[in-house]
Structure 1
Amino acid sequence: MAADSDSAGTAVKFGPVVGRHGNILPTLLGRLVRRFVFRSVLSAYGEEPCPTAISFGDATCAVYFDEFVSLVCSPWISAACHGDWWKIMLPQLARSNIYLYHAAISVGALSKWHQRAAHTDAAPRPLLPAPGSAAEMESDPHYLRAIAHYCQALRLQRKGASTTDALFLSILLVCFETLRGNNKTALAHVNHGLALLLSVVSDVGPGERMGAALAPNPRPVLGAVADIFVNLAGQARSVLPGRLAEGAPFPNFTKGLRKKKQTIESFMITLSELPHCSVTVDNVPEVFTSLDQFEQYWLALGRKQVNVSAVLMEVVRSSGMLSVNATDDLNNFYQNLLGNQRITEICEELTALMLTLGNAFTPLFNSIIMTEGVHSPLYFRALYLRLQFIASYLFQNPSFYLRVEYLQAQTPYFREYLTMAQLALRAVRREIKHPAQQLSLQCLMSSHLLLVAFFCREPLAREEALNLLEDYPVQDGVWNVRSLYQLGVRNRDVERRNTLEGSPTAQWERLRRREYLFEEGGTRVIFRFMDNVDDLGAWELVEEAGELSEDQKHMRWTRQPLTGSGRLLMVDLVNV
């Protein structure tokens, strides 16, 4: 179900999902409502489902709610959260809010459904694709109840939920759709949630309505929600629900940004300022004494990093790069962009600050790893914070990508990232009890492993990243891990072919032209790269489309004309 929102405080109305060429997409949820919610659930409850049909104190509901609480407190879903949103805030909100209560029950019921399906599998399976056929889903009582409560939450909300209620609900709806393997609808909820967040942050400052909904202090809750949507926005910018030709990501959110004369970068700066931060990076201690202390300084540094992204986009827009053809020689553009003096100075300052933070964090990290057991939440939290820190150092510094020598110098950090990833995934495999616990809306490890496979200049490290992706045991937001892995495999072929000709500098300049995006909810990949077509000596930009097989174990690649406007793919994705 797609969603549209009005201004703050108004009812939120849900409509159909529009598919390709403007037709109404016959989603599985729509079929379920028509075919068995008003058939099977009728027989279960003895009457048509309505806002008062399901008892608030039903014993089965209590079981599902407990399952929901267990799920959101599991190690992976809460690992990337800087605070208590999943373990404390969300369960408390769901206990006191009828919309969130029914959504929580629907998520808990889906978790039970996954547990039942897992008992029939010989080996652990990913969340995508969802287990079982449509017929099997229709006959499963957990799945039926999940759909009934999901519809219940939407019906109740449509009658007049506040914008803040709808915002919190959108997070649970993303969880629900991801758990049932429906990335397209999950992306629609991301778009809707971002539009709601924009409305709440922009229209309701210290005013009455937000204060009433989130009293006495709304900033921690909004900061936690913003952190989730910042991560989801980054994913959804590269994972489209349909095809690129159907339009840019975030139609509702984009419309709201334009109405308020903002860009996504300016909005991200606003969101970064929501959480309270009591320190500055000007007075970093020699050694951190706790993970909480490190996170405060990490938050302060994160605000500076958001500004780098805004400056980078400002330079991109002023450079004329958004209007050039993708087939043009863009080496000068990349040199001017990545070597821009303003960007270089900011990146040098951030790199120095990150090294200072890293030096202060290392003794604390080593102490926790040596003294805490592998089942300790503190052990897992320290591992994930270290992963986030290294990823930020490697992937948020555009100056590293100017010259191949700069990237080669970062090989020790790429290798450390892989070591931390191996330890974290080993810990995850020990702690995950059933497939639903594989879900996280904030973890970015799978996409970061792909970046290691793309950009690390050491072949063995790239291969190691691919191996970790191949057996990746968890579901990171709306990323389709199978597609990430298959793209990495295809890139390995591109790397091999690229080494056949030219100096390391010439080879890197060709590799720098690679671009990719995901369509159809992540099951289709568009990949552009430089190729020596027919081995005639002339390297030119080509595009391939990869279609994931139904069992998601293989990808079929087909060469095709350049998609979209003929400009860089990033132009169609960043023009927000």
Structure 2
Amino acid sequence: MSESPPGSPSGNDQYQSDNASRHWEVALKHYSLAINAVVQSPSHDEAKKRMSLMASVLLACFDSFIGDHKQAIRQIQSGLALLETLRADRRQASLPQPEEPVEQDLIQMFTRLVIQAKSYDMAFHFPQPYVIRLTPKVGMTTASISDGGPPVSTNNAKIPEVFASLHDGRLAWDTLCEKIMRFTEQMSAYVRMSPMNILPIELKQYGKGFDEEMEAWSRAFSPILTSRMAPAKSTQEKTAIAVLKMNQIMGRILFNMTFSDSESEFDQFLMFFREIVNLAMEVIGDEERRAAAKRCPNPEFCQHQSAHADIFGGEYTAKHIKPSFSADLGIVPPLFVVATKCRDPLTRQQAIQLLRTSSRREGMWDSELCARIGSWIATIEEEDDGVADLPRPLSSSTEASRLSIGSPGSISNGSPAFGEDIPLGPGGNARWGSRRESSPLSPQMKTDTKLVPERKRVMVRAVEFDLQKRVAVLQCGTRGLIPGMLDMRTRVTKIVW
């Protein structure tokens, strides 16, 4: 409907509305034709099955784009069944050769779609039939926990000392991420009473190898992460490096917390949360700088306005970025984790503002919905319940990095602090000005020295929503509660935007 955020200058609104409606009609017409073509074409031979798998990828992306996550999940479920049929046919025909290059690319794309759908399911806890299953339900034994059915991806390469390229790092992470999701799914099915995919601590030994693999991946990726600051690095590759690292940090946090029934244990990952925010600031900052240079080459005549409150001391002005869609995961899921799991109020509010300002939909992940969920959780946890809370113990290292600017984690990985002296050359960061400790903060930031006690902490238990109608019903409650027990922290709300 509009190229700019709300409050920005625009042309003829009626023309934009009519033009958008025509595009919508044409898109739905061809979407309907594509659905009918898939239904009417019997998938008997391998070529037609591959064609149907390609169609499921495209249709899932289209459904995500228009905000129909339920239909997108159905497409991915259909594609998973097709992929298994294809592989069963190959096994039956005793074909020793690996997949063709075109099929390898297709499987890579589909693996990422499956990871995306599974992450969505794990975050919002969908009911049947919108649950993505990566493993079979039958034959579940402790011996089969680490196996349990063929994976989606076909990459079996060991993690090297150093990745030769960003592409190799991404393939390795996709494979590892899928293996971890399959492990968690199988463990949750094995432990019948596992609430919200939280596993007993005594089962942690089964997953110890994954933590070691994630550490090995991080070491192998470290030179590439540092290289993103090189002047010759393209903006696209720099962004891809930062985004991949953000998702790896998120994956490591969530996997380790799978074995904990206490929300307070997320506090040990505060430096990781800050690193996610720093990397997201790089991505959005660079995007804002490019958009501003293109849309307002003369800043003196810029009429664009920010539609969101600013907590960065008046210097955060990402107001030129257009709403965008990507079929792949990016910055939204990691920032959602920070917004809902980080109890440092300032870091959490930075993540929420980055979600609101970036105006993104990454696959099924919508930044505005995630920002609103994060805001609701923050409001519940930080509200005054009449009981005096303990002050947050601030060590010197914590004090030095409270503003998520140049945290030790990002400095060690070659990411400089955001300050006044950073150049804006090729591959450089967008400079949003200095944001100092003395910068004016919004009222909700006054609780920065308070520790959110465990008694007030909640987790997202269910989210029912319609992105097309922009309405959602959110439910939160106690972490680790056995299903059926009374939950005194249960809260439900409806949001419309």
Partner of 1:302: 177
Distance 2:40 2:146 in 1: 29
Q: Which has the higher helix share?
A: 1
Partner of 2:402: none
Q: Deviations over 1:546-569 (max 9, x none)?
A: 131xxx2xxxxxxxxxxxxxxxxx
Distance 2:93 2:207 in 1: 40
Within 5 A, what are the aligned runs for 1:98-113?
none
Q: Secondary structure at the match of 1:171?
A: helix
Q: Is 2:79 the counterpart of 1:196?
A: yes
Q: Cα–Cα, structure 1 residues 121 and 508, in superposed 2: closer, same or farther, change >3 Å?
A: closer
Partner of 2:310: none
Q: Which of the numbers 507, 516, 527 marks the counterpart of 2:462?
A: 516
Q: Cα–Cα, structure 1 residues 400 and 418, in superposed 2: closer, same or farther, change >3 Å?
A: farther
Q: Is 2:389 the counterpart of 1:469?
A: no
Q: Secondary structure at the match of 1:546?
A: strand
The alpha-carbon deviation at position 147 of structure 1 amounts to: 3.5
Q: Cα–Cα, structure 1 residues 465 and 302, in superposed 2: closer, same or farther, change >3 Å?
A: same
Q: Cα–Cα, structure 1 residues 466 and 216, in superposed 2: closer, same or farther, change >3 Å?
A: closer
Q: Which of the numbers 328, 338, 349 marks the counterpart of 1:452?
A: 338
Contact 2:155 2:175 in 1 (8 A): no
Q: Deviations over 1:216-261 (max 9, x none)?
A: 7734422321321331243256669xxx8xx62438x78x967x88
Within 5 A, what are the aligned runs for 1:16-31?
none
Q: Is 2:196 the counterpart of 1:313?
A: no
AA matched with 2:154? P
Contact 1:170 1:193 in 2 (8 A): yes
Distance 2:175 2:28 in 1: 42
Contact 2:276 2:334 in 1 (8 A): no
Q: Is 2:244 the counterpart of 1:359?
A: no
Partner of 1:146: 27
Partner of 2:103: 218
Q: Secondary structure at the match of 1:515?
A: strand
Q: Cα–Cα, structure 1 residues 509 and 444, in superposed 2: closer, same or farther, change >3 Å?
A: farther
Q: Which of the numbers 42, 47, 50 marks the counterpart of 1:164?
A: 50
Q: Cα–Cα, structure 1 residues 307 and 121, in superposed 2: closer, same or farther, change >3 Å?
A: closer
Contact 2:327 2:362 in 1 (8 A): yes
Contact 2:57 2:79 in 1 (8 A): no
Partner of 2:473: 525
Partner of 1:491: 377
Structure 1 unaligned residues grouped into runs of 5+: 1-113, 126-130, 323-333, 531-537, 553-576
Partner of 1:278: 157
Contact 2:332 2:367 in 1 (8 A): yes
CA RMSD of aligned residues (A): 4.5
Contact 1:220 1:275 in 2 (8 A): no
Q: Deviations over 1:363-388 (max 9, x none)?
A: 33212323434x43322221122112
Q: Deviations over 1:487-534 (max 9, x none)?
A: 22221221113675377799325524552313334621222247xxxx
Distance 1:514 1:428 in 2: 30
Contact 2:475 2:492 in 1 (8 A): yes
Partner of 1:227: 112
Partner of 1:541: 489
The alpha-carbon deviation at position 545 of structure 1 amounts to: 2.4
The alpha-carbon deviation at position 195 of structure 1 amounts to: 2.3
Partner of 2:316: none
Q: Cα–Cα, structure 1 residues 436 and 339, in superposed 2: closer, same or farther, change >3 Å?
A: same
Distance 1:435 1:425 in 2: 8
Q: Which of the numbers 205, 230, 237 marks the counterpart of 1:378?
A: 237
Q: Cα–Cα, structure 1 residues 370 and 148, in superposed 2: closer, same or farther, change >3 Å?
A: same
AA matched with 2:57? I
Partner of 2:425: none
Structure 2 unaligned residues grouped into runs of 5+: 44-48, 295-319, 391-450, 479-485
Contact 2:61 2:72 in 1 (8 A): no
AA matched with 1:493? T
Contact 1:305 1:350 in 2 (8 A): yes
* TM-score, length-scaled by structure 1: 0.56
Contact 1:454 1:488 in 2 (8 A): yes
AA matched with 2:84? V
The size of the alignment, in residue pairs, is 389
Contact 2:201 2:260 in 1 (8 A): no
Q: Deviations over 1:154-194 (max 9, x none)?
A: 34333315343233212222333444x3x23x521421331
Distance 1:226 1:219 in 2: 10
AA matched with 2:71? A
